[in-house]
Amino acid sequence: MHTTALVLFSGGQDSTTCLAHALERYERVETIAFDYRQRHHVELVARLEVLSQIRQQFPHWASKMGEDHLLDLAVLGSVSETSLTRDTAFKMEQSGLPNTFVPGRNLLFLTLAAAVAYRRDLQVIVTGVCETDFSGYPDCRDDTMKAMQLALSLGMDKRFLIETPLMWIDKAATWRLAHELGGRALVDLIVEHTHTCYLGERSVRHDWGYGCGHCPACELRARGWAQYVGAAAA
């Protein structure tokens, strides 16, 4: 029986929902984030406020929240020529992938998360990757997660479980899952405090939260919010 988890927690909508999911299921939950010199570096500030708000607003979860980890991955930013690590416009590449794809990012994240989980004796690694509402990133696919789970378990001689609560649901369903886990309070917390915008925009407030409103991440979040609100009103 699994009792401990490490959540890859960027401070966005998806990872906050995954954190709530883990806090409902496990006795001890730790969090981890990565500074890879992303353009939306503001997410690293936002995530601390999200953690603080969860502790304040959900005391039954606060007692389960353990250490938070932040790892410096500047090397990932230095080897990546993408619109998330360079000041370039968002576009589709000839490969068919958007230039927001950072090659190896999730593979590296999971490898380092597993190393921390090994040291901290954490059994489950929780990540918000998704095959339903996503940009086609190959390192978000279910097959990739299964392969990583096997490789990390074999390579570290420790049976890890990689849990992906959002793998088969869209953004509207992610909003609904947040409501099921923490009610309107969690939904409001996600709207007000989480960060998703790839440009790091925090000065413009929409119904669904802060962001530029036109980058791929904002468009996806806004569309999911509209579907979620529309279904709730129907």
Q: pLDDT of 160-176, one tens digit each?
A: 999 999 999 999 999 99
Q: Is pLDDT of 39 > 80?
A: no
Each residue's pLDDT tens digit, 46-74: 999 999 999 999 999 999 999 999 999 88
Q: Is pLDDT of 149 > 90?
A: yes
Average pLDDT over residues 208-228: 95
Query: Quick one: pLDDT at residue 133?
Result: 66
Q: Is pLDDT of 93 > 90?
A: no
CA dihedral 111, 116, 120, 124 (to 10 degrees): -40
29: left (phi over 0), alpha (psi -120 to 50) or beta: beta
Instruction: Quote the pTM value.
Output: 0.91
β-partners of residue 92 are 98
CA dihedral 139, 141, 145, 150 (to 10 degrees): -100
The domain that holds 122 is classified in CATH as: 3.40.50.620
Query: Quick one: pLDDT at residue 64?
Result: 98
β-partners of residue 35 are 72
Q: Which residue has the tokens 């593979």?
A: 107
Lowest mean per-residue pLDDT among 12-16, 122-126, 136-140: 136-140
Q: How many domains does the chain have?
A: 1
Range of the domain at 190: 4-233
Q: Is pLDDT of 92 > 60?
A: no
For the chain, helix (H) and strand (E) counts, in that order, are: 8, 7
Neighbours of 185 (CB within 10 A): 14
Query: Three-state SS for 124?
Result: strand
